[in-house]
Amino acid sequence: MAELDLDFTRDALAPLEHYITIPCISPDYDANWEQDGHLDSAAHYLTSWAKTRAIADLTISIEQLPGRTPLIFCEIGATSDTATGTLAIYGHFDKQPPLGNWSEGLDPFTPVVRDGKLYGRGAADDGYSLFAAILAVEALEKAGTKHSRIVMLIEGSEESGSPDLEPYMDVLSERIGDLELLICLDSGAQSYDRLWLTQSLRGNVTCTLHVGVLEHGMHSGEAGGVVPSSFRIMRHLLDRIEDSSTGEILLDALHAQVPAEHQARFVEVADELGDPVGEAIASLEGLELHGQSGLDRLITQAWKPALAFTGISGIPSIEIAGNVLRASTTAKLSFRLPPSVNAQVAAQAIVEALEADPPHGALVSVKVDRALGQGWECKALDPWLATAIEEASLSGFGRSASWTSEGGSIPFLAQLGARFSDLAIVATGVLGPGANAHGPDESLDLAMANGVTRAVASLIADFAAKAQ
């Protein structure tokens, strides 16, 4: 590939700083998002910027389905007849809310550059993505390096679980065409010195467990000991799915085997970086984490099922708690699933385990949330793509690529895999140590953004070259 005139900070820093000032919070966290219009503002700003760039055959539009967040759709024509096939790039421009107090001198909606990092909500997750994608193509065209047809899907509902992406994929299906390679620019990294590829993501099932025993709360002097407590019954039920002394999930349907190739890569990461998972946890002093070693925790975070209790109802706060035997207890359960576990099957197993034989004939019900998050595993790579990834990391960072897994979920990757049977997906990103994507003090490492942008350019060039 020819030498590229590509400098992320020179060309993207100022517009990215402006993007940070727009409070385009994802719909789940901003009930008034439609009236507020911040998602519209962000989409317009990003689209206008893209139009100013020197790309020969670029069409970019804001798509708008009623009641849905806007989607930025960009089509770029191939620069050579021999560069066949379509490559897609995915990113999103909606943001997480501020979440907690930011440190002295930092603010979610005021950009600050400090020590090579751009601070502000949405800088790294995932505002940089459109800039990286456009600058990569522009640099290739400037250098006269061929590229194939490219489409970009920059959506506005990712932080709410991407409910709007599929409807747009349906509407745009003809314009998108058949995809061969998708580069997802919304994933994580374990360090800032190379391209990190994601080999798997966990799935997610959330549900509400309700246990009812009385028509209304009663004096605990009268009912206590006579009426089985809804809280105790809930504990009993939860013991069916989770070992309360170890946290082990007890349902076979929620477990899966770690593939040998993934295991080998975890060993490499642990040998080099020690315990990156443990080091990122904000634990209180003295807390003993699960897992015996850094390697153990890498595998646990990526491949073990886990249960978090994320909400509870039917229990008053302590200030107003009287001597009452309460009528019911309701808990929100959030399960993370190994990448290869079928989320539908897992949900069914959870419901069956909890609803079977209600203790004491209590009213027990489980309601599974509609959006099931299917986990994802990167398919075995075609040889050309394996080589292209290596070259991409070398051209972006001067060193080899590494692979890791994410404990979180990007449900649409599995959906895309189902939609396009021959699609290869490369998931990468800039969210390394301390990027704090969903917490206070989110930051984008500008050198990392530059390296990833160069790597994207290299992948685009190799995709075009392999078609010849």
Write out the residues near Zn ion by the rule CB under 5 A: 125-126, 186
Q: How far apart, in whole angstroms, are the C-alpha atoms of residue 208 and residue 332?
A: 5
* Angstrom distances, CA of residue 78 to CA of 55, 146, 281: 11, 8, 45
The secondary structure of residue 160, as a DSSP letter, is G
Residue 423: which of 235, 183, 249 has the closest Cα?
A: 183
Q: How many CB atoms lie within 10 A of CB 359?
A: 13
Q: How far apart, in whole angstroms, are the C-alpha atoms of residue 43 and residue 329?
A: 43
Q: How far is the CB of 22 from Zn ion (least distance, A)?
A: 16
Give backbone dihedrals phi and psi of 233, rounded to 5 degrees, phi first: -65, -40
Q: How far is the CB of 182 from Zn ion (least distance, A)?
A: 15
Q: How far apart, in whole angstroms, are the C-alpha atoms of residue 186 and residue 411?
A: 12
Q: Which is nearer to Zn ion, 186 or 462 (CB)?
A: 186
Q: How far is the CB of 228 from Zn ion (least distance, A)?
A: 44
122: left (phi over 0), alpha (psi -120 to 50) or beta: left
Q: Which is nearer to Zn ion, 127 or 396 (CB)?
A: 127
Q: How many CB atoms lie within 10 A of CB 67?
A: 8
Q: How far is the CB of 122 from Zn ion (least distance, A)?
A: 9
Q: How far is the CB of 96 from Zn ion (least distance, A)?
A: 8
- Is 194:277 a contact under the CB 8 Å cutoff? no
| DSSP structure string for 320-352 | G--SEE-SEEEEEEEEEE-TTS-HHHHHHHHHH
Q: Which is nearer to Zn ion, 4 or 431 (CB)?
A: 431
Q: How far is the CB of 158 from Zn ion (least distance, A)?
A: 5
Q: Which is nearer to Zn ion, 28 or 382 (CB)?
A: 28
Q: How far is the CB of 108 from Zn ion (least distance, A)?
A: 15
Q: How many CB atoms lie within 10 A of CB 226?
A: 8
Q: Which is nearer to Zn ion, 95 or 466 (CB)?
A: 95
Supply 66's token pair.
């009623």
Q: How many CB atoms lie within 10 A of CB 216?
A: 8
Q: How far is the CB of 92 from Zn ion (least distance, A)?
A: 6
Q: Which is nearer to Zn ion, 185 or 401 (CB)?
A: 185
Q: Which is nearer to Zn ion, 102 or 412 (CB)?
A: 412
Q: How far is the CB of 185 from Zn ion (least distance, A)?
A: 9
Q: How far apart, in whole angstroms, are the C-alpha atoms of residue 168 and residue 70?
A: 9
Supply 120's token pair.
């502000």
| DSSP structure string for 263-284 | HHHHHHHHHHHS-HHHHT--PP
Q: Which is nearer to Zn ion, 125 or 391 (CB)?
A: 125
Q: Which is nearer to Zn ion, 126 or 442 (CB)?
A: 126
